[in-house]
Amino acid sequence: MPVVKVYGLSAKTAQLKKLRQVIKRELSRIAELELGPDQVSVFFIKDPAPRQSEGIIVEIDGLYKKPERTPDLLTAAAQNLSAKLRDRLRSMGRHFRRSHVVEVFIRTFSLAKGGFAKADF
């Protein structure tokens, strides 16, 4: 299950819920990723240090490496997600318009090169 970490946001819970939905929806719309919205975990990482608005960083990890998930496809997915998030943030209000950039990084995962475990409740 891919994990999405979003850095650089301080927003109200209702706004974060909307952004979480946008991220899950956009990733599930890419057929080659073979993901449903319920298969993506999204976390908003709070930065305790006050700072100037440097932008929003999104990291997507834990996406299994598959032949159909080519670098071109992953780049297109990152571009699409960054544009959708930028547009959503702009529509949410003036606070987000100060951000200079929304950057999205997608890293694939291979069991041959790393470990994975899952413990269901």
Reported as a single tens digit per residue, the pLDDT across 20-56 is 998 999 889 888 888 888 999 999 987 776 655 578 8
* pLDDT higher than threshold 80 for residue 93: no
- Domain positions in the chain are 3-109
The overall average pLDDT reported for the chain is: 83
pTM of the model: 0.83
pLDDT-derived band at 109 (thresholds 50, 70, 90) equals confident
CA-to-CA dists, residue 72 to 32, 58, 62, 69, 79, angstroms: 12, 18, 18, 8, 11
SS3 54: coil
The single-letter code of the amino acid at 97 is: R
- pLDDT number for residue 53: 58
Beta strand 56-64 with 41-45 is: unpaired
Q: What is the CATH number of domain 3-109?
A: 3.30.429.10
